[in-house]
């Protein structure tokens, strides 16, 4: 459980950075599909953090995938000539890189569910 708390904290930190960035850049053009955009930026990490804290192993891998997609979005934003290299983009990119590494490591080091003990019935007597 100790490994999962920092991962959930990283996801919540990404939500806070995304919300702060959106509020700072309110003068920019609104997104074409705001429900999808804000759902991806704000709702998905909160749901993943809840899944990670609940102990679902798939949530760790989903956090790696989310961090990869979000890092790609951050890097593509940095490569645009009209975009200014805002500190929030660099912070988000760094948080995503740490999320990918830590959630991937946690996913690989989680032991599988314990299996049921083997049935140890006595051997039948051998024929004479």
Domain ranges of the chain: 4-25+34-109
Task: Give CB contacts under 8 A, 24+ apart, made by 93-100.
Answer: 95/10, 95/13, 95/14, 95/17, 96/14, 96/67, 96/68, 96/70, 96/71, 97/67, 97/71, 98/10, 99/7, 99/10, 99/11, 99/14, 99/63, 99/64, 99/66, 99/67, 100/64, 100/67, 100/68, 100/71
Q: Which of 28, 37, 20 is nearest to 89 (CA)?
A: 20
pLDDT at position 87, please?
75
How far is the C-alpha of 63 from the C-alpha of 107, rounded, in Å? 10
Question: Of 90 and 6, which is predicted with more confidence?
Answer: 6
pLDDT at position 52, please?
92
Q: pLDDT, tens digit, for every residue of 53-92? A: 998 889 999 999 999 998 888 888 777 765 565 777 788 8
pLDDT at position 84, please?
62
Q: pLDDT, tens digit, for every residue of 26-51? A: 667 777 888 888 888 899 999 999 99
């Amino acid at each position: 459980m100790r490994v999962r708390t920092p991962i959930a904290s990283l996801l919540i930190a990404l939500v806070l950075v995304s919300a702060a960035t959106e509020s700072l850049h309110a003068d920019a053009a609104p997104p074409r599909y705001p429900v999808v955009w804000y759902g991806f930026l704000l709702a998905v990490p909160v749901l993943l953090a809840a899944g990670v804290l609940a102990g679902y192993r798939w949530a760790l891998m989903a956090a790696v995938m989310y961090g990869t997609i979000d890092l790609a979005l951050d890097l593509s934003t940095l490569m645009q000539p009209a975009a200014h290299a805002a500190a929030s983009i660099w912070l988000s990119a760094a948080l995503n890189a740490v999320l990918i590494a830590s959630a991937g490591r946690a996913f690989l080091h989680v032991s599988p569910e314990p299996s049921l003990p083997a049935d140890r019935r006595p051997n039948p007597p051998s024929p004479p």
